[in-house]
Structure 1
Amino acid sequence: MNPFEADIIRVTDPLTPYTRSVRKSLLISSVIAMAVAKTGFVPTKISALGLEFSQADRGAMLWLVGAVVAFFLISFLVSAFGDFMAWRMSQMAKAWDEDSVGYENLRKLFLEDKKLTEEEREELREQERRVGAMWRNAGHLDNHLLIQRLVGPISWARVTVEFILPFLAGIAGLVLIVRTTP
């Protein structure tokens, strides 16, 4: 057993590549939104596409930039929270493994000589109580139960952000385009 394994988990990057890409998109869109807000720069014309925007169109563009930033913010929060919970669960699993290995080693030591004295049996029961009490008193059991309660809502939040919201955005975009088409 590597004595640094639990520490390695604690300092490992908790973000998945997907969350990193969403974070990057959030940062880029936020910088663009801040630049537009601070400078008041909203294009009146995009020559390459042959587009000219009225004042109302520019207001819609601001709304669209805000919606994009909001979507990336929600996406990042949901995916980052899921990554954080997975990272914490891996830490807790490692701590559980380390404690379990120590307990199992003690148990094997006692059970090698299958003729346990009453004193040895009591010591084994006491060790079992200590391991259980250690987990309860250190808050590990409460943390585990909290994480278990959060797994369902996190899963649904990810389903919403990664499947439902993009689907609804696509439908809204199609509907708006169809209604706008002459």
Structure 2
Amino acid sequence: MSMNIVLLEPEMPANTGNIGRTCVATGTKLHLIKPLGFEITDKMVKRAGLDYWPHLNYEVYENFEDFLEKNPDCIGKLYMATTKARHIYTEVAYEPDSYLMFGKESAGIPEEILVKYEDYCMRIPMEYNIRSLNLSNSVAIVLYEALRQHQFAQMELQGHLHRLHWHEE
């Protein structure tokens, strides 16, 4: 199982760094579509991703068409997060190798793209007066739902406490 996160024109390096860290923790590939609001070498990206960034499986594309051309297998499993969607993210039956796409922080995914993929648009429920959630939080919410649907395949499911001996006095 290998999920994919697609960021269309991300603007904030800290969000992308946090998303990169989430991708490493879940074995997910990160796809970055230009223009980016920062350089990949930006210290804010690295700081947010901490020491995980060198382990990140990612690819950068010139534009959305370049992404589609290089990932023909995404057709039929490219899900777009938008506040304009009719369906909630938990209503989607995600394939084990789905592509979960998120737009830039200031504007989301352009409507000319959304109308072509209307049946693949999903939203995270929010109060009516809220414009949107933080990008890295949105990615985590949707990605973990997709992973949950596949029983978190190939992920560590159990932690282990280090049993300390406490003495009652």
Q: Normalised by the size of structure 2, how large is the TM-score?
A: 0.23
Structure showing greater Rg: 1
Is the strand fraction higher in 1 or 2? 2
Is the helix fraction higher in 1 or 2? 1
